[in-house]
Chains A and B, each alone.
Chain A
Amino acid sequence: DAGVTQSPTHLIKTRGQQVTLRCSPKSGHDTVSWYQQALGQGPQFIFQYYEEEERQRGNFPDRFSGHQFPNYSSELNVNALLLGDSALYLCASSLWGIYEQYFGPGTRLTVT
């Protein structure tokens, strides 16, 4: 039973560029949440997807957008990258209405 997978593992981008991060949920899960974790901080909620719709959103600008596909996998897109977007981006999957979340290994994004 595969857990949550994320790709790529690491990414280096330049300011102003755009990036797409990918997540495959744990088998059987239908809900995907994305988090940004800066060094030494707790994960910050970006948004949550269920039934291919954004259900909840945290305090992140519109530069952060996402998508969920019919197979429940998800993408996180960030436009016009800023230096401050450098962080570990975590994807977590769960069953809708069930609170336990399983986190993936994360994508380490560095913006130079």
Chain B
Amino acid sequence: GQQVMQIPQYQHVQEGEDFTTYCNSSTTLSNIQWYKQRPGGHPVFLIQLVKSGEVKKQKRLTFQFGEAKKNSSLHITATQTTDVGTYFCAGRYSNTGKLIFGQGTTLQVKP
């Protein structure tokens, strides 16, 4: 079935270290979105990737979509305490299809 797997489940880093979370699907995605959810909050849209091999940057965040459109990654350079939260990828299998969320990666940053 349509399933999006995300690893790792948890990541603890020292402030200033880098962080990466990975997302994988067994079948080709139409597009993929990334969201951030702070503790006690709701998911907030970060970015959408549509094209094969697409790379987008937002300040210290780099998002990649694989060539086969089956995997994606989010990389944060030099983490800060404000980066704390759970990062979710969410994939679509058709242009108007439902959004399938991964289980999320919870990032803790030690000052």
Q: Is the CB of B43 within 8 A of A45?
A: no
A61–B97 CA distance with the chains assembled, in angstroms: 19
Closest to B6 in A: A42
Q: Is the CB of B45 within 8 A of A42?
A: no
Chain A interface bracket (under 10, 10 to 19, 20 to 34, 35 or more): 20 to 34
Chain B residues, CB < 8 A from A18: none
Known: A56-B96, A99-B33, A99-B92. A42 touches B44 (CB 8 A): no
User: Interface readout for B4-48 with A: 1 if CB under 8 Å, 0 if not?
Assistant: 001000000000000000000000000101010000011111001
Q: Is the CB of A55 within 8 A of B96?
A: yes
Q: Is the CB of A100 within 8 A of B45?
A: yes
A97–B54 CA distance with the chains assembled, in angstroms: 20
Known: A45-B100, A48-B98, A56-B98. A100 touches B33 (CB 8 A): yes
Chain B interface bracket (under 10, 10 to 19, 20 to 34, 35 or more): 20 to 34
Chain B residues, CB < 8 A from A33: 98-99
Chain B residues, CB < 8 A from A105: 41-42
Chain B residues, CB < 8 A from A57: 98
Q: Is the CB of B98 within 8 A of A42?
A: no
Closest to A4 in B: B42
Q: Is the CB of B96 within 8 A of A42?
A: no
Taking CB atoms and an 8 Å cut-off, the chain A residues in 21-55 that contact chain B are 33, 35, 41-45, 48, 55
Q: Is the CB of A102 within 8 A of B101?
A: no
List residues of B whose CB falls within 8 A of some A CB: 6, 31, 33, 35, 41-45, 48, 88, 90, 92, 95-104
- Given A33-B98, A35-B101, A99-B92, 7 extra CB contacts under 8 A: A42-B104, A56-B98, A96-B96, A101-B33, A103-B43, A103-B44, A105-B42
